[in-house]
Amino acid sequence: MFRPLSVSRPVCFALLINAWAIVGMAAAQSPVTDCETVSSFTNSFTGDFRFRGNMFAVANPGTLRSFAMDLDFSETADLYFSIFVRSGGTGNFQRARNDVAVTLTGQGRMFYGTTLSVTDLNLKLLPGNQYVLGVAWGANTITVFRDAETYPQPFSHGDILGAVGMSLGAEPPLNVPPQGILLGAFQGAAYIMELCFCSRYADIAPTIGDGNVELSDLLCVLDGYSDDEFCLDGDIFPCNPPDGIIELADLLAVLDAYADNPPCPDPCGP
């Protein structure tokens, strides 16, 4: 339930910590992840010295934890998972972060992705931006899979604009974004890809997860509320004097209000 702000922020914060002491601090949980698969199988293509991926237009903010491509190969290969971004959907693409490089022996057809090397990309996806996610490889014969649908099509954080690809003249990594990106997305297909995002609510909703909230995530959000007037709403505050117990509805209201105010800190990572 929503309650008016009736105690000072320091007192409220102390009550919050006391409440956690009362209910007991569970062992730290791993950040909760929601994954989705884009595209489906219609065609397969095999080759070497390639970059293949998809272009996305983001409308809803989120935190990308990992992505993977549906690939098929059995030899030892160097894979370079790349992410490029352009602000506002115009201008040139820039590298959003360093490539995630992986050397491994293929196990046939499966998803191969960034988690083979990096636990968490923690990449903030910002509304209005366009992103290209893909994988590059050199002198290895690798098969990729895609559909034959018409794009754009929606995904959880905006629209899939279509497929992006190009042939490489040398071994990756790519020093600049693939020139194929400059031509825009091919709107007649998208490559099969798995995207995994940080979930804000999956471990606190009463019907999902274990009902526990990671203390570090919760304190991060509430600390942002206590320091930032933009985030603080006098009708939404997670204190319930005098017992200091946080009602689930109040907590969800705070996080829901946070979700609508991007300047607040992100509870999914530092």
| pLDDT tens, position by position, 17-56 | 443 333 333 323 344 568 999 999 999 999 999 999 999 9
Mean pLDDT over 177-203 rounds to 77
- Per DSSP, 58 falls in state E
How many residues are listed for the chain in this entry? 270
Tokens representing residue 243 in the block: 């017992």
Mean pLDDT over 116-144 rounds to 93
Q: What is the pLDDT of residue 247?
A: 57
Q: What is the pLDDT of residue 203?
A: 36
Q: What is the pLDDT of residue 196?
A: 93
Specify the residue for token string 């091919």: 186
Distance of CA 125 to the CA centre of its chain: 7
Burial of 194 (0-12, 13-18, 19+ CB in 10 A): middle
Q: Are 204 and 258 in contact (CB under 8 A)?
A: no
Domain 33-198 listed as CATH 3.40.50.300: no
The top-scoring range by mean pLDDT among 47-56, 81-90, 239-248 is: 47-56
At 131-145, the pLDDT tens digits run 999 999 999 999 999
Distance of CA 7 to the CA centre of its chain: 36
Q: What is the pLDDT of residue 33?
A: 65
Residue 198 makes CB contacts below 8 A (sequence gap 6+) with 31, 32, 33, 34, 62, 63, 65, 122, 268, 269
218 — pLDDT class (breaks 50, 70, 90): low
Where do the CATH 2.60.120.820 domains begin and end in the chain? 33-198
Q: What is the pLDDT of residue 23?
A: 33
